[in-house]
Amino acid sequence: MIKIPLSNPYLSSLEKQLVLQVLNSSQLSQGPQLDRFENKMAQYIGSRHAVAVNSGTSALHLCIKSLGIGENDQVITTPFSFIASANCMLYERAKPVFVDINPNTYNIDADHISEKITARTKAILPVHVFGLPCDMVKIRAIAQKHHLYIIEDACEAIGADCLVDAVPQGQAIKLSSQKVGSIGDCGVFGFYPNKQITTGEGGMIVTNEEKIAMNCRSLRNQGRSENSMWLEHEQLGYNYRLSEVNCALGIAQLTKIHLLLAARARVARWYSERLSNVADIILPPHAVNCRRSWFVYVIRLRDHYGRKDRNKIMNSLKSYGIDCRDYFPPIHLQPFYAEMFSYRRGDFPNTEKVADRTIALPFFATMTEAQVHHVCKILYRIMRNYKYMRHDFMAVNNQIIAN
């Protein structure tokens, strides 16, 4: 049996070299690698400031906190995401207000954001799901009209960019693009091992606002200001620091981010070429007016399949040694969200319809064409056999009903 993992980080001799330099130094936290990683990240994204923390979740929390969002405030976001993008509001006793997704992009449907805005709405938190940028032109226009903050969850989308402005160029109009994360008031990236680049565990806040950056630096370090003594604390803070070892990994990964993104795009292309003729599969959404950053390769079963069908197909893949996941279960149907806010099935039908049918296939920068071919061959075999069995079962069942 050929076993293929869901993800596999690419680590080279450079990562080992930089980590050893840290281990051979006398400073394992709050040292020169932190400043270096933050500066390189700000330069790459095109933001004035970058603040490294120990996870993307911590980064989201500090953005909520630094913007003064608190009890009884509301933040508009998507129910189709990793749960941290909504949990970060609950940490400050604010409420996530969900807007259903566009089924063609899996991102928050910008056309329905305005109808959820109330006097308590303080921000919009779009998630660039699976590395595909949201419609930031519409979202930014809505935010400006209603004086709302924008917190970009770009944890899955480092390197992606989208068109945001029409800039006069003589007699013509040229559209300009920006990297995701740099479009809102602040943006967040995550560096878990399955991401495009990894620090093991880690996250980053980027912003053009000095006040936000300074507050986030204080909050990540137990509430100390940059000028405080070690045991002087100006506000309630957290231990959200990122170690020098993690920062060294991030520096090494950033030096080859263009190669890593290109490699992932190549793997995605191999998948799409081999799966484009499988009638019962919907391929990942196309990027329009933007450049996606491939985080995962997620297929979707056609509507005549259901959640139970999807789960059986996933179990079959795993029995062949091919890892896979159901990205993402809807946040509003997670047990404690359903209990806290009385959500139930049918509240966000597009999200539920997509979530019931998605399968994340093995995907990583070092994946070979032979591995992709093997996954597709096994998937095709499973789909073909399952379709026949399902068709025969339905035919027999219909015959029983008819008689």
In a domain, 77, yes or no: yes
Same domain, 374 and 362: yes
Whole-number pLDDT of residue 393 = 43
Question: What is the per-residue pLDDT across 55-66, written as a single tens digit (0 to 9) for each?
Answer: 999 999 999 999
Whole-number pLDDT of residue 389 = 66
* pLDDT average, residue stretch 16-29: 96
Choosing from 255, 281, 301, the residue where a domain stops is 255
In a domain, 74, yes or no: yes
Which residue's entry shows tokens 């933007």? 290
Strand-by-strand arrangement of the 290-291 sheet: 172-179, 161-169, 290-291
Same domain, 201 and 315: no
In a domain, 107, yes or no: yes
Helix (H) or strand (E) holding 34: helix 32-45
Average pLDDT, the chain: 94
Whole-number pLDDT of residue 397 = 39
Whole-number pLDDT of residue 161 = 95
Say which range, 37-51, 66-80, 388-402, has the weakest mean pLDDT: 388-402
User: pTM here?
Assistant: 0.94
Helices (H), 294-368: 307-319, 335-341, 349-355
Domain that holds residue 380: 257-402
Question: What is the per-residue pLDDT across 164-196, written as a single tens digit (0 to 9) for each?
Answer: 875 556 656 566 789 999 999 999 999 999 999
Whole-number pLDDT of residue 166 = 58
In a domain, 7, yes or no: no
CB atoms within 10 A of CB 53: 27
Q: Is the pLDDT of residue 352 over 50?
A: yes
| Number of structural domains found in the chain | 2
Same domain, 349 and 359: yes
Query: Rounded to whole angstroms, how far apart are CA atoms 314 and 149?
Result: 39
In a domain, 69, yes or no: yes
Same domain, 221 and 271: no
Same domain, 211 and 271: no
* Banded model confidence at residue 46, pLDDT cuts 50, 70, 90: very high
* pLDDT average, residue stretch 237-259: 98
CATH number at residue 357: 3.90.1150.10
In a domain, 3, yes or no: no
CA atoms in the 13 A half-sphere facing the CB of 360: 19
In a domain, 351, yes or no: yes
Query: Rounded to whole angstroms, how far apart are CA atoms 338 and 321?
Result: 34
CB atoms within 10 A of CB 93: 11
Same domain, 135 and 280: no
Say which range, 188-202, 275-289, 298-312, has the weakest mean pLDDT: 275-289
Whole-number pLDDT of residue 225 = 84
Q: Label the pairing between strands 186-190 and 149-153.
A: parallel
Choosing from 234, 255, 276, the residue where a domain stops is 255
Closest of 187, 199, 182 to residue 154, by C-alpha = 187
**For the chain, what percent of residues have pLDDT higher than 70?**
94
Whole-number pLDDT of residue 396 = 38
Same domain, 160 and 240: yes
Same domain, 242 and 377: no
Query: Rounded to whole angstroms, how far apart are CA atoms 46 and 318?
Result: 41
Same domain, 240 and 324: no
Same domain, 95 and 156: yes
Q: Label the pairing between strands 149-153 and 49-53.
A: unpaired
Choosing from 239, 255, 271, the residue where a domain stops is 255
Same domain, 183 and 325: no
Helix (H) or strand (E) holding 268: helix 257-275
